[in-house]
Amino acid sequence: MKPVVIFGAGDIAELAGHYFRTDSDRRVEAFTVDGAYVKETTFRGLPVVAFEELAAAYPPSTHDVFVAVSYTS
C-alpha cells in the first residue's frame, strides 16, 4: 500500500494524521499546502511541501494524497 501525503496543515490534517497512524496501516510521509500558505517546513514532525512541488517530491505513482480541509466562513 502506498504511503500518504495529507493536503492540509491545520486541525483537520492533524486529526487525519492521527487516525492514519493509529487506525490504519497507511504511513503518512508529509503534508502539503498551496505554496502561498507554507508557513513552516515541518508540521507534526513531518515535512510540509508546497503543492506545486508535490508531484516531484512525492510522485503519484508511489504516493496517495488525502485531502484534509474543512469549511470556514
pTM over 0.75: yes
Distance CA 10, CA 35 (A): 15
Quickly tell me which residue has 502506498 as its cell: 2
Q: What is the pLDDT of residue 69?
A: 84
Delimit the domains of the chain by residue range: 4-67
Q: What is the pLDDT of residue 71?
A: 79
**Sheet-wide strand order for 4-7:** 42-43, 46-50, 28-33, 4-7, 64-67
Q: What is the pLDDT of residue 70?
A: 84
Report which residue type is found at 2. Answer: K
Residues of the chain below pLDDT 50: none
Quickly tell me which residue has 513552516 as its cell: 40
Distance CA 22, CA 40 (A): 25
